[in-house]
A and B are shown apart, each in its own frame.
Chain A
Amino acid sequence: MANQKLVMLADTERCVNCKGCEVACRAEWNTPLGFNRNWVIETISISDDGVPHMYLISGRCQHCDDAPCVTNCPSGASYQRDDGVVLVDREFCSGCEMCVQVCPYDARFKNPLDDKISKCTFCQPRIDAGEQPACVEVCFNRALIFGDINDPNSEVSQLLKQEKWKKLVTDKVDTKPNHYYSESTYLDASVLPQEKEPTIEAEVISKVVNPVVSVGFSGMLGLFGAAGIMKIIKRREEVSNDSHSE
């Protein structure tokens, strides 16, 4: 487990936008209507002769190694596991939505049922029990492939070698995602990461309570209940140590 690095491959040549992945996720994690942890988007490019070409692109949290949702989370609830999975600690998530605003892929939302941040977890409880993520499990055309990139015999390692892949990154935004797409996929603004500026509050709170860069922390105490903030600060420390221990 410790040496695993988990990734998702979306073979867009196989995807037919049947939306099995979307419903699988809704059923598995009980996401309320109107919200989705994953999606399939169509992009269309028109070639010089006027002929349209269409691509079907399955998306979700890209589980970035340089995840702005983690660095901008004031409470330390957002974190990345050693195996690369980006998660939200339910006890510490205040639902402040600062991570929602900074995600370049719009992969997070606040769940109105519990006021916590919801996102794709690669089905963490399922994969920890040795199952595939729900979306991968149902995929009719085997367009979604999930596994450990550190295991050279895994299906993902084999496919990454055999076929050509790319990530959803631009010159301006590269948060080191762990999600791959077929090289032939036409990408446009609807799927590429968007530049996101954290709000001033997000920046201040994140820097204030983040022990790595802590500045002017005493001035901010008035904003929070003392007990609450101490808990959060302790948490940030733990998360920072945790993520820097690799």
Chain B
Amino acid sequence: MTDSLYRRVVSFTNARLWQLVHIDVLLIGSLLLLICGGLFILYSASGQNVAMVERQVFRLVIGLLLCLTLAQLPPKYMRRASPALFAFITVLLIGVLLFGVGAKGAQRWLALPGGLRFQPSEIMKIVMPMMIAWYFSDRQLPPNFKQILAVLGLIVLPVLLIAKQPDLGTSLLVAVSGIFVLFLAGLGWRYILSAAALAPIAGYTLWQFMHDYQRQRVLTFLNPESDPLGSGWNIIQSKTAIGSGGVYGKGFLEGTQAQLDFLPESHTDFIIAVLAEEFGMLGCGILIFAYLLVISRGLYIAAHAEDNYARLLAGSLTLTFFVYMFVNIGMVSGILPVVGVPLPLVSYGGTSIITIMATFGILMSIQTHKRAR
């Protein structure tokens, strides 16, 4: 019975029809699971604001359409377009610094005609691994020292441009997405270990480049109680929300921290605290499990990809997705500084949903455009 069910599931997911329309059922399935759970939490976190949930659904639909569209595009075209895209987006990043618009002292957007706004740094999250993967696509792996330096050079320029906006969180994530490619390409362990040894020096250098509000975030992270009503408020309240949820949570819409507005940013960056408060450790476990489904499918696709470019790109995109999740939950639960990274696909907000859905389109393309063997 279970055997036949398993077979039916396998035959369903392997069906040629899906292959034809370039949809990976397991990936899209686990994504939909995550998205539905996220909408459910958002309903509570937004104070039962249906309009807000509707807007989020709208964005998700746009993202899904983009995902399905990109899935139709064979990876080889992506590979060929990579250097040009990278150059283009880098120029746009320079443009942001010169002509950008923004708020709260940061300049992150380019204004488009028709009142639309456009954030090149978000696109760089995808274009960066594409570029590095392209660089390695016809070079022998593992990379030699010269190649490593060249790749680091490619990474540094856009990262500095983004950091200058200033947007430390995004710049780090862009750097990480490039470095993941380097790692997957077989960067020698001795480099990795010496980099780890040099991290404190790098940290100090970074500190010198930081803005006051960024330094404040780090200091608050190190000792949130030092300013309980100011910058420490967020983290104290989110830890309180999480801890008070216990194992089973206080129940849907019953979280006092979230519903009585003690939890700041409850529908954006701190949304996991709402889940933790209302559904406890159990709810968090289920959500993290859904993420793991997505990530394991992504890594499977990467491992079974056709060529180096596809492998490196798919692996880096998947790992970057994981980093979003890890950094967000880590910061909300107080083991990482508050860097303003949303919980992917769950937090309320536009740009990141679109980019993330785009990465899964690329993954599906890689999985469904393999030549039959």
The answer to whether A and B come from one shared complex is no
Question: Which residues of A are at the interface with B, using a C-beta cutoff of 8 A?
Answer: none
Question: Which residues of B are at the interface with A, using a C-beta cutoff of 8 A?
Answer: none
